[in-house]
Structure 1
């Protein structure tokens, strides 16, 4: 493919229109179907019907992601988005927040907390949701942003490591001396959003420290394969088994792709001061393609063992989505035929296999042969990854998606 002699897809009017159409379809699939009148949001089955409509368990990350995504919808001017933001923010504040001990419960149902643990992963998404809600003027945003920031700083942040602890019981007693990169990665994303929403440099400083630990040092020591699991002293735990959904064993190429974009975003927001960041972003992306892509059938294997062999051979929607975001950022900051080719190639697989033209939404899991599967997920519970894949390529790679939309609105 003569990528170097043709206009990048991201600059072509048809492709940009197609991306907006895909984003609009995702908004349309989730907006009314996922709305739970009793509070929060339903996970949806493959056809768009609620899973366990009677009394579903609501994970804090799912609620917060809906707030974030429909704050994006509000900035874009999509009718009904503010209602979703308000619905989600109230549920986070009134149902997920622990008014006695502080912090936010991992899962709740109609009767109260189902899993009362305080997870770094979940608190990262509360920070993201409140930062995004602040941009659209939600009345709870400042209060929630201040509250979750205090919790993160006083309960989770470990100054000696430059990263956060993983989890606590509901009463803030320690569960185990485990550290995970996934929660810290999503906190990096949220810290950048908080920096953009408030202008407070302390958020960006923490994001840079996390990236330095997990990417420059730890991933750099492992050939830019991002380790997922660490002990209490942040030494890599290659024998950790965990669970397939949130803590899969081995390495997860989708996270290499996610970090590739986040590191470039952090580099741009920080004034391009850290020369290691774009080099690391390129290396992470190249390794994900070399080791994580199924060269025979297409798609990224979900996770690899430490011999770089596929562990779970299924292909999930979110690594493909993150591949798009990473490729889009690299095409702007480190343009090359390689990055443009893979931007197109990943979209080819998404368009042919992940987008569900019959029922709407995207298939969240495919078999090795790219057929829909439901062993990890019961249907379609998430708009976040796919929506950002559709919208990130439409805006300058200088910060978060919300920053790009706001710049367009203001004419800057």
Structure 2
């Protein structure tokens, strides 16, 4: 967690690897029997009576798959548990697709909607499990790939946000967040499937939302759209700190997109030059409008369309994505400025986010950088933080699971 970005020294890699193992040790407490993963509190205990979101199960399956590939004790068994759970408890046996969440006992759906956001993470877990050779990974991949093709990617290759349980009606809303995570999933699918169409679809989503929409808005990417992909700049103006659909621009997503564009450039044959140009612009914009703009270290959660802070709460995932983006751009360009940002953000994480007493990272800080829980309760997820420990040690392409290779027999 120090010094050179992009894993350029053995000492740095050892520190990152140790932090990754610590995070997985905390996350192991989420495993539930007979199926699923619980929402963890501040100390790593599943919250009693809490529904079981499918995106949490998919993210846990993903990180434990990577942990198994890295040789972390117990990770293989947890990855297998995750794949089994996604193939059975979380999957709709009648209409297909994956429920949004399960009841606390994992016996039935708590929320039977079908969302692109959740399906993107199921695809990420499935593609990664397939690359690693986790039993059931290929079946999971075949299932979710079919649902993506028939339900969540329209004729133009754009993402349909949400359906009811039976896929009979779709929501009129479209969102950049689900599309961004779909790009992440499609990059993995393109690495494990022989069909280059998955990478072309990922490039098309990025070209529309980043090179088209974000560029036209000075890289302050609108997050919310109508069904015709017209921006809705006032969406959730009365619910500004929504955890998934906040009002305004989200600097953390600019950083996440920046990293994904670097990955796309390394993944797509004949990649266009705008990918690196836009990755730089998104990174610079996020730093300009998000980092310590209210006089204290940290990234604000959201800004308005003039780039002024709206919600000053700090989220752990933003710093994790900032670290990954800085590492990716440093590796791609060799420019020392990205290395300095990488160091600065790891210092911030170590000082304010890494919780050595109770485990994991604090998921949310108030504007004074004290632990808070106004948007997120507990510590339900290690996906972002774990990637901050791993992605700097890997090349931009292929995706992490494909880069780490199959598990030993």
Assess same fold via TM > 0.5.
Answer: yes
Residue 191 of structure 1 pairs with residue 186 of structure 2: yes
SS of residue paired to 2:301 = strand
Residue 139 of structure 2: aligned partner: 143
Residue 379 of structure 1 pairs with residue 378 of structure 2: yes
Compared with structure 1, are the counterparts of its residues 17 and 172 closer, same or farther at alpha carbon in structure 2 (3 Å cutoff)? Answer: same
Cα deviation for residue 8 of structure 1 reads: 5.1
CA contact (8 A) 1:266 1:399 kept: no
Aligned equivalents of 2:62 and 2:361: distance in 1?
19
Compared with structure 1, are the counterparts of its residues 371 and 98 closer, same or farther at alpha carbon in structure 2 (3 Å cutoff)? Answer: same
Superposition pairs of residues 29-108 of structure 1, within 5 angstroms = 29-31=26-28, 33-52=29-48, 55-108=49-102
Aligned equivalents of 2:34 and 2:198: distance in 1?
34
Aligned equivalents of 1:45 and 1:8: distance in 2?
31
Q: Which shows bigger deviation, 240-249 or 386-395?
A: 240-249
Residue 182 of structure 1 pairs with residue 183 of structure 2: no
Report how many residues are paired. 400
SS of residue paired to 1:311 = strand
CA contact (8 A) 1:331 1:340 kept: yes
CA contact (8 A) 1:86 1:138 kept: yes
Aligned equivalents of 2:392 and 2:64: distance in 1?
18
SS of residue paired to 1:163 = coil
Aligned equivalents of 2:130 and 2:193: distance in 1?
9
Cα deviation for residue 272 of structure 1 reads: 5.1
SS of residue paired to 1:164 = coil
CA RMSD of aligned residues (A): 1.7
CA contact (8 A) 2:132 2:401 kept: no
SS of residue paired to 2:310 = strand
1:25 to 22, 27, 46: 22
- After TM superposition, where is structure 1 displaced by more than 4 Å over at least 4 residues in a row? 6-9
Aligned equivalents of 1:65 and 1:14: distance in 2?
28
SS of residue paired to 1:67 = helix
CA contact (8 A) 1:46 1:380 kept: yes
Aligned equivalents of 1:374 and 1:270: distance in 2?
40
Aligned equivalents of 1:399 and 1:216: distance in 2?
23
Aligned equivalents of 2:96 and 2:280: distance in 1?
40
- Segments of 5+ residues of structure 1 without an aligned counterpart are 1-5
CA contact (8 A) 1:208 1:266 kept: yes
Post-superposition Cα deviations, 1:357-401, rounded to whole Å, max 9, x if no partner, equal: 111110000011110001222211001000000111112223322
Aligned equivalents of 2:404 and 2:363: distance in 1?
27
Residue 260 of structure 1: aligned partner: 258
CA contact (8 A) 2:4 2:343 kept: no
Superposition pairs of residues 285-300 of structure 1, within 5 angstroms = 285-295=283-293, 296-300=295-299
Post-superposition Cα deviations, 1:313-336, rounded to whole Å, max 9, x if no partner, equal: 010000100001100010011222
Residue 223 of structure 2: aligned partner: 228
Residue 9 of structure 2: aligned partner: 12
Post-superposition Cα deviations, 1:49-77, rounded to whole Å, max 9, x if no partner, equal: 2211xx43111110000111011011111
Aligned equivalents of 1:198 and 1:64: distance in 2?
19
Aligned equivalents of 1:272 and 1:347: distance in 2?
34
Residue 3 of structure 1: aligned partner: none
Aligned equivalents of 1:324 and 1:405: distance in 2?
20
Superposition pairs of residues 292-311 of structure 1, within 5 angstroms = 292-295=290-293, 296-311=295-310
Post-superposition Cα deviations, 1:60-106, rounded to whole Å, max 9, x if no partner, equal: 11000011101101111112112111211121111111111121110
SS of residue paired to 1:297 = coil
Compared with structure 1, are the counterparts of its residues 272 and 347 closer, same or farther at alpha carbon in structure 2 (3 Å cutoff)? Answer: farther
Residue 214 of structure 1: aligned partner: 209
Aligned equivalents of 2:53 and 2:41: distance in 1?
16
- Segments of 5+ residues of structure 2 without an aligned counterpart are none
Q: Which shows bigger deviation, 333-342 or 225-234?
A: 333-342
Post-superposition Cα deviations, 1:176-216, rounded to whole Å, max 9, x if no partner, equal: 31110111110100011111122321111110110111111
